[in-house]
């Protein structure tokens, strides 16, 4: 009985969606064109994704798989036209096999191309060991490039406000208080994470201040994340009410 009721709910919802779109097109709120069908498709996919709030259903699974497939296909096309074609095909393959090429082939691209081919050998049991060279090169290069940037962005740039004088000439009272709070927050949070000393007396009181700074920071980060998700929800609701149903002008 439950499967039958779920089937009837799904069919009834799809039928209601089709009837609403027929009414919108008949009344002129949606144009009978590719733009109108694009709005209908966007509204249908939006409702299918949000149908997961009711329960897991075939409509949600179709929209989810369609989203993943389209995203993967779009990524492959962008990778080909933005990276592989100009950097490998036009620079190495075409000059090597075309007599009408005006520039010499860049043979230096053979080595990174071989590393890229080695990565696909991960699917072979006998030659999968060659893929380790590619992964080692990618991990080593990524670590060498990202570690200095991470240190500069998340460590050195965070140390600069802590080294700024609390009271200096030309500073406003608000700037001085802000610098003092930064210094207090850094010191109290660092003391909180010193677990080799028992948190009693002055150390315990300062560590409690560090907990307050951590909770405020986590709360602000969580609130920022929630507001970002709510802005996406508001955008989708505006699309449904304005572009699809025509309720909002």
**Coil, strand or helix at 31:** coil
Contact 106, 91 (CB under 8 A): yes
151 in Cβ contact with 167 (< 8 Å) = no
Q: Per-residue pLDDT tens for 107-130?
A: 888 898 899 899 999 888 899 999
Query: How does pLDDT run across 55-102, given as a tens digit for each residue?
Result: 888 899 999 999 999 999 999 999 999 999 998 888 888 888 877 767
> pTM of this prediction?
0.70
Q: Residue 244 in 3-state DSSP?
A: helix
Give the DSSP per-residue string, 121-154. Answer: GGG-TTTGGGHHHHHHHHHHHHHHHHHHHHHIII
Instruction: Look at the block and give the residue holding tokens 């069908």.
Output: 37
Three-state DSSP class for residue 195: coil
Q: Residue 48: exposed, middle, or buried by beta-carbon count in 10 A (0-12, 13-18, 19+)?
A: buried
**What's the pLDDT score for residue 28?**
87
User: Encoding tokens for residue 119?
Assistant: 């990565």
Q: Which two tokens stand for residue 146?
A: 């990202």
């Amino acid at each position: 009985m439950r499967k039958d009721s779920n089937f009837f709910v799904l069919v009834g919802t799809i039928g209601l969606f089709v009837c609403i779109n027929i009414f919108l097109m008949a009344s002129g709120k949606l144009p009978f064109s590719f733009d109108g069908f694009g709005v209908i498709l966007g509204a249908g996919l939006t409702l299918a994704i949000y149908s997961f709030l009711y329960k897991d259903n075939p409509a949600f699974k179709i929209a989810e798989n369609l989203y993943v497939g389209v995203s993967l296909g779009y990524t492959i096309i962008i990778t080909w036209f933005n990276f592989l074609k100009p950097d490998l095909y036009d620079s190495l393959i075409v000059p090597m096999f075309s007599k009408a090429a005006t520039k010499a082939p860049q043979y230096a691209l053979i080595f990174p191309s071989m590393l890229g081919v080695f990565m696909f050998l991960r699917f072979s049991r006998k030659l999968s060991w060659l893929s380790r060279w590619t992964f080692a090169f990618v991990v080593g290069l990524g670590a060498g490039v990202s570690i200095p940037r991470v240190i500069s962005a998340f460590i050195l740039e965070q140390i600069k406000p802590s080294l700024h004088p609390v009271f200096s000439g030309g500073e406003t009272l608000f700037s001085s208080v802000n610098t003092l709070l930064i210094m207090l927050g850094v010191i109290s949070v660092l003391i909180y994470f010193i677990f080799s000393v028992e948190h009693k007396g002055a150390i315990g009181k300062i560590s409690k201040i560090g907990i307050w700074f951590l909770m405020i920071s986590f709360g602000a980060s969580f609130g920022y994340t929630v507001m970002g998700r709510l802005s996406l929800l508001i955008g989708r609701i505006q699309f449904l009410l304005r572009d699809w149903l025509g309720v909002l002008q």
